[in-house]
Structure 1
Amino acid sequence: MGLKTPRQYIESLRDGRVTYWDGERIDDITRHPRFKVPIALTAVDYDYDASDHGALRRYRTENGDEAHRIYQVPRSGEDLARRIELLQHTSIGTAVTGVYMALMSVKDDVAQVNPQCADNIERMYRYCRDNDLRAAEVITDPKGDRKRRAHEQDDPDLYVRIVDRNKDGIVVRGAKLHITAASLVHELVVMPTKGMRQDEKDYAVSFSIPVNTRGVSIINRSFAPAELNAFDYPASAHHSMPEGFVVFDDVFVPWDRVFLAGEVQLASRLAQSLGLWERTGGLIEAVRMSELFVGLAQLVSEHQGKDRDPTVMNSIAELITYAEMLRMSLDYACRHFETTPSGMVHPDVLAINTAKYYYAANYHQIVRYLHDVSGGLVLTLPLESDLRNEASGKYIRKYLHTRSDVDIETRMRVYNLIRDLTADAYGGWQFVVALQAGGGLAAQRIMMNRTYDLARARARALQAAGVTTSGSPKRQAAE
């Protein structure tokens, strides 16, 4: 019970979990080089005494105990603002624990259909909060042939499903893909990937189980190698996080950990609830990244002596527009927050989905502006080892010179960050994540169509066209 230290977090991962990477079963991830960076990254969030963000990480629960703020259910605009601030300084290994915000936001809906499942949500939320655990968002199924429903697939396990029910619980089988930090957390919170029909009851399932539960296996992949030079890879060397291919091979789930077991009318609601918080997190990262792009473009242009060049200034203006649109959208979504019947505050749904769509739909174009300003050195810059070599280093320092006030190492670090963020390890991951995290563009389009006040827009259009509510044209008074 209570807050863990970074060391206690690391020790808690030695629990017999079944984890694979590059064809190897790794029995102790805390001692394996593949997990060194991701574990260190997540462990920082357990430093509650840190001078910079230690106090931000803590809050007082209703019992007066301290817990990580990732578990604080926002009840006011101020609470929501603190959560947004927290996520700006939190690793993705901790941020994914926001899955419990999604569950708590739909708890009232679940209670109307199955009060016991709603009680399970509350109990598991408190259990994870009070024990300072981390949980993964486990939502995306393999899906097989997308033209067919879950129960129509060649293999019925292509969506996670219930294969047995008994007095003690359920048994599930299937897999979930793209599960960020699955091997680094304590609990796997499984959510439906989409709405289910009445003939798909076995696929309407949600639950939380420990990562080391018998029958659970995680196959890992990351955008970054185990060891990277921080000079050459300033982003990837510090921020890599494995994506998990999570397999459930006839896994037993006790009833008190089940949130959904056949209640098809709730499957879509649970899936959508996760989308809101995941897209909010994505938008927070988008604001940070877009500001970085502006700064990097400005530095490159200054180093080249092109900061007053009209073409470069136009490109930077495009980057500024993108960054400001995202920043203002996040601010608007939080200032115009919505409140659930139970009092939970969350960002405006329409604003978040619109902003996430704008971010994802324009990301590749925005990177193009940065690449256009930067030039070919983004890809061809020599490595740090060549810079440190006396023979080759003198040529690098000679021919990368632009002006006496531009430090060569600073110039190289700027180019390395541009390459790493947009054209190499981290950048490749980010290109896909910007588009797919929180659902692809279609998911945001669906939510915008659902939440925008189309009736009001339609009525205003008719009025502007001179059509009365009865459908008859207005007669204009004679002059």
Structure 2
Amino acid sequence: MALKTPEQYYESLRDGRVTFWDGQSIPDITKSDRFRVPLALIAHDYEYDDPDLGHLRRYRTEDGSEAHRIFQVPRTAEDLQTRVEMLMHTSIGTAVSGVFMALLQCVDDIRAVNPMYADNIERIYKYCRDNDLRGAEVITDPKGDRKRRAHEQDDPDMYVRIVERRKDGIVVRGAKLHITAASCIHELVVMPTKGMRQDETDYAVSFSIPVNTPGVKIINRSFAPAELNAFDYPASSHHSMPEGMVIFDDVFVPWERVFLAGEVQLASKLAQSLGLWERTGGVIEAVRMSELFVGLAQLVTEMQGKENDPIAQNSIAELITYAEMLRMSLDYSLRHYETTPSGMVHPNTLGINAAKYYYAANFHQTVKFLHDLSGGLVLTLPLESDLRNPESGKYILKYLATKKTVDVETRMRVYNMIRDLTADAYGGWQFVVALQAGGGLPAQRLMMNRLYPMEQARQRALAAAGATRRPGEARKAAE
């Protein structure tokens, strides 16, 4: 199969999918202004002849054909490094296709339980790879009353569940929330949101279906209105992507597309595997964003004539520390990679969880330093239209000047980027995403507690204390 062009990507979305935005049904998202920016972002990833990025986007499959590198299963440390470099230059609408890495990471465990499911995963993965399709990570259920399990809810549909098993497939009902780019891709790859118990077999379900499958409906929301301009909103005007509430209204899924249907012992493995790859993506974005914060902080400091001010230098040092800790954490996780039985190389699980926790737990505190350096102008800066108006613009040029080497329009653009990234459209989205994407802080703490080599730490602590017995052994001896 051939790689798609941007035009073919647009054409592939004209398939009758049911999607809503702001109370309106949108029969063709390629003709909607609301989808203009997100579709252009993803379409850019289909530009395989790009002289700078084309080599990162393409790779050779085992049969010699070309495919997007988002589908390359890392087999070496170099493969993993190249994947990370590619993701640095890839839209989130393409990056979410990394869900196939999560499935393939679990395929050995799944094959041991049900070979049919493993075959289905490999077949759907190759189908999407060979047809240059994109898949969404469809994982988070509404959950209802969080104190109760899936099967204990007042409404049993608070978690996606199997409502009927047939000879030719299953019927599912429920919803998934916060699904990035759901309306803009081709396949909805559904995963369990967490581990399930034996009395929750109907909720241990995983599958992949086309977005236009009968019974699928998507309700969209975005942090950025379509009409934002690039001067006032330098991030949001180019990088918005809708989040979808995906409804499964008694959707039929053929058995050949089912990855899990009641095998509760596999539910947590799938959820944890997806968590690893989602958190890896979050750390990659954190490295990029933190470096940008340092650059913006340095620029506003220089524009204010405060480059030698010790308080400003202290704040910038805090931002540098944050950026370097994230960069080193990602580097560690890649260098100390792990390998599945089938040969997939993936980032160090403990390292990625620790890095994602550090990123999320310190994000809001770090933004504080950037806001403190920038001052109130981050929020009160006049709009581009005021700058371009000859009558008002002359006052903006006069009173926003700082020194002869600083161009006022450049200064405005820097401040607009800070506001958009941290205090407005994109910034509001990022404040929540930094905490919640890939699971909130408790999810990372849980994984760190599970993965840390605790027995080694215990033994070293005992040795350092000069103890010859473990605590339990000491009590037994006393008895």
Matches within 5 A, 1:101-180: 101-180=101-180
Is the Cα contact below 8 Å between 1:140 and 1:178 reproduced in 2? yes
Which AA in structure 2 matches 1:133?
L
CA drift of 1:155 comes to 0.2
Residues 345-375 of structure 1 show CA distances to partners (whole Å, capped at 9, x for unaligned) of 0000000000000000000000000000000
What is the CA–CA distance in structure 2 between the aligned matches of 1:273 and 1:438, rounded to whole Å? 10
Letter in 1 for 2:27: D
% identity of equivalent residues: 79
- What amino acid sits opposite 1:280 in the alignment? T
SS at match of 2:219: strand
Question: C-alpha deviations, 1:367-415, integer Å up to 9, x for none?
Answer: 0000000000000000000000000000000000110010001000000
What are the ranges of 5 or more consecutive residues in structure 2 without an aligned counterpart?
475-479
Cα deviation, 1:161-192, whole Å, max 9, x if unaligned, reads 00000110000000000000000000000000
2:60 pairs with 1:60: yes
Partner of 1:398: 398
Give the 3 Å change call, closer, same or farther, for CA 470–214 of structure 1 in structure 2. Answer: closer
Q: Secondary structure at the match of 2:208?
A: strand
Instruction: Tell me how far apart the structure 2 counterparts of residues 227 and 170 of structure 1 sit (CA, whole Å).
Output: 42
Question: Cα distance 1:403–1:263, how it changes in 2: closer, same or farther (>3 A)?
Answer: same
For 1:60-85, what per-residue CA distance to the aligned partner results, in whole angstroms no more than 9, with x for missing partners? 00000000000000000000000000
The two structures have a TM-score, normalised by structure 2, of: 0.98
The corresponding residue for 2:97 is 97
SS of structure 1 residue aligned to 2:330? helix
Aligned to 2:54, what secondary structure does the other structure show?
coil
Distance 1:32 1:449 in 2: 47
Determine if contact 2:462/2:470 at 8 Å carries over to the other structure: no
The answer to whether the 8 A contact 1:467-1:473 is kept is no
* Partners of 2:56 and 2:69 within 8 A in 1: yes
Aligned residue type for 2:336: H
Is the 1:103–1:270 contact (alpha carbons within 8 Å) kept by the matching residues of 2?
yes
Deviation at 1:472?
A: 10
Letter in 2 for 1:7: E
Correspondence for 2:440 = 440
Partner of residue 477, structure 2: none
Contiguous gaps of at least 5 residues in structure 1: 475-479
Instruction: Give TM-score, length-normalised by structure 1.
Output: 0.98
The 5-angstrom pairing of residues 16-415 of structure 1 reads 16-415=16-415
SS of 1:84's partner is helix
Q: Which letter does structure 2 place at the counterpart of 1:17? A: R
Aligned to 2:468: 468
Per-residue displacement from partner, 1:321-358 (whole Å, max 9, x unpaired)? Answer: 00000000000100110001100000000000000000
Q: Which amino acid aligns with 1:270?
A: L
Instruction: Give the counterpart letter for 1:48 in structure 2.
Output: Y
Q: Is the 8 A contact 1:45 1:90 kept in 2?
A: yes
Between the aligned partners of 1:467 and 1:176, the Cα distance in structure 2 is 52
Separation (CA, whole Å) in 2 of partners of 1:472 and 1:29: 64
Structure 1 distance, partners of 2:473, 2:451, is 29
Task: Assess, with a 3 A threshold, how the Cα gap between structure 1 residues 473 and 115 changes in structure 2: closer, same or farther.
Answer: closer
Structure 1 segments, 4+ long, off by >6 Å, are none
Query: In the aligned structure 2, how far is the partner of 1:144 from the partner of 1:304?
Result: 50
Tell me the distance in 2 between the aligned counterparts of 1:402 and 1:130.
56
Rounded Cα–Cα distance in structure 2 between residues aligned with 1:2 and 1:245: 32
Measure the CA separation in 1 of the matches of 2:79 and 2:287.
20
What is the alpha-carbon distance in structure 1 between the residues aligned to residue 118 and residue 74 of structure 2? 19
**Structure 2 SS opposite 1:46:** coil
- Counterpart CA distance in 2 for 1:470 and 1:367 is 45
State how far apart, in whole Å, the 1-side matches of 2:201 and 2:376 are: 55
Aligned-residue RMSD, C-alpha: 1.0
Report the counterpart of residue 477 of structure 1 in structure 2.
Answer: none
Q: What SS does the aligned partner of 1:147 have? A: coil
Q: Give the 3 Å change call, closer, same or farther, for CA 155–470 of structure 1 in structure 2.
A: closer
Deviations 1:29-80 (A, max 9, x none): 0000000000000000000001110111000000000000000000000000
Number of aligned pairs? 474
SS in 1 for 2:188: strand
Distance 1:420 1:316 in 2: 20
Could you tell me how far 1:473 is from its partner in structure 2? Answer: 11
CA distance in 2, matches of 1:230, 1:239: 11
Offset at 1:470? Answer: 5.7
